[in-house]
Chain A
Amino acid sequence: MTLRNPIGRARGLGSAKEGVGHHWGTLVTAIGLIPLSLWLVISLAGLGGADYATFKGWLSGPFNASMFVLTVLMVIYHAQLGVQMVVEDYVHGEGIKFGTLVATKLVAAFLAVFMTVSILKVAVGV
């Protein structure tokens, strides 16, 4: 027996059954970001006032470049899930909500590519 009325089902209202995946995504990236965010903060603190050559030298090591890319990708994934939650909570118009959510995902995708390319350009570029 279902408590949903037929018109509600026809309109596709109700749970999308994807909340658990969203929560797991947030949770797993959160665990990963405990060491990664601390690594990033310590690294950035050491780069305060550094010139380009110093930054390039630091980023040339495969460990630092890999950690930076990994951190950036995990932060972006975690952040877009969080922004999605905030939008769903506070933006109520269906049109503007849909638009904001799509924009969030696309901006996140752009940032992931842009930041990875930027890191790699400094790390392996001439």
Chain B
Amino acid sequence: MTTRNRPLSPHLQVYRLPLLALMSITHRITGVGLVVGLLALAAWLGAAASGPAAFAAAQSLFGSFLGKLLLTGWSVALFFHLGHGVRHLLWDSGWGYDLPQAYASARVSLGFTGVLSLVALIAIWF
């Protein structure tokens, strides 16, 4: 069979997603993850509203190893979603559709996510 050098459709199992596509799907995944975080925040507030004992239990839960791990995940997810969300706002304003600009904004938002995640990491674990 002759192989022709023609474009293939992006079949997900064999096609390595380019950075911009990865950013896009990560935005959606972090959004869903943050919904779970919202439920955790609701539980935390509910514990506080139930009184000092329940709040202390919730605080020790979020201060545990697993709790800190989850808080780290939600922090990173929030900073990614925030950074990439700003890119969406820029696109909505009509800016940034050219590939060089799209890659530049991707790198800036990833840098933003990285720096704030590092700060959150230090704040949570140290």
B53 and chain A: residue at smallest CB distance:
A52
Q: DSSP class of A's interface residues: helix, strand, loop or mixed?
A: helix
Knowing A30-B88, A30-B89, A115-B45 touch, does A51 contact B32 (C-beta < 8 A)? no
From A6-14, A74-82, A91-99, the one touching the partner chain is A74-82
The reply to whether the CB of A102 lies closer than 8 angstroms to some CB of chain B is no
Q: Which of A27, A52, A82 contacts B89 (CB 8 A)?
A: A27
**B50 CB to closest chain A CB, in angstroms?**
9
B88 and chain A: residue at smallest CB distance:
A30
The reply to whether the CB of B14 lies closer than 8 angstroms to some CB of chain A is no
Check A115–B41 contact: CB distance below 8 A.
yes
**Interface positions of B from 31 to 86, Cβ below 8 Å from A:** 31-32, 34-35, 38-39, 41-42, 45-46, 48-49, 51-52, 55-56, 59, 62-63, 75, 78, 82, 85-86
Q: Complex Cα distance A7/B28, Å?
A: 35
Question: For residue A30, which residues in chain B have a CB less than 8 angstroms away from its CB?
Answer: 85, 88-89
Q: Interface residue count for B (Cβ, 8 Å)?
A: 31
Check B46–A118 contact: CB distance below 8 A.
yes
A residues with CB within 8 A of B? 27, 30-31, 33-34, 37-38, 41, 45, 48-53, 55, 72, 75-76, 79, 82-83, 86, 111, 114-115, 117-119, 121-122, 125
B residues with CB within 8 A of A? 28, 31-32, 34-35, 38-39, 41-42, 45-46, 48-49, 51-52, 55-56, 59, 62-63, 75, 78, 82, 85-86, 88-89, 92, 120, 123-124
